Amino acid sequence: MSYKLSTAGIIDDDQVYQLVMRRAIEQSGMVKDVLQFYDGEEAINYFKEKHQHPEALPELILLDINMPYMDGWQFLDEFIKIPFKGEYQRTIYIISSSSTMEDLNKAKQYSIVSGYHIKPITKDKFEEILRRL
């Protein structure tokens, strides 16, 4: 089987959403592995630890913004400071239950954010995101 991506990462504190999203990703058949993080702090620590090994990092990141410990905005602020080795190609989509114009506009201020989608993300919507890559 040929995959479009080797790894996708989900950063979200909602365990039910994590389960549903992982299942949608796996059912798409377009991603080999899924990394799961339950808050921004856990995720940013992983990226800092693996920044010299881009092959271990997800090419697609689905990021929630409302999380404990470190929210999605704080994650993005720390993420852009990491000196990744080589040409680490990644695409970040914010996936949130927030539909406020404030959050939508704030997301546009981050050049590394490719899009903003309101939860829930269906298998079809996920496949649409992958087709855009």
Bridge partners of 95, per DSSP, are: 117
Q: Are the beta carbons of 9 and 58 closer than 8 angstroms? A: yes
Confidence of residue 2 (pLDDT cuts 50, 70, 90): low
Q: Which of 81, 85, 84, 79 is nearest to 94 (CA)?
A: 79
**Residue ranges of domains in the chain, CATH in brackets:** 5-132 (3.40.50.2300)
pLDDT at 106 over 80: yes
Q: What is the mean pLDDT of the chain?
A: 91
How far apart CA 17 and CA 122 sit, in angstroms, is 11
How far apart CA 64 and CA 75 sit, in angstroms, is 10
Residue 118 is predicted with a pLDDT of: 92
pLDDT tens, position by position, 67-94? 988 999 999 999 999 999 878 889 999 9
Does pTM surpass 0.85? yes
Burial (CB count within 10 angstroms: exposed 0-12, middle 13-18, buried 19+), residue 84: middle
E strand residue ranges, 70-133:
91-96, 113-118
Residue 11 is predicted with a pLDDT of: 97
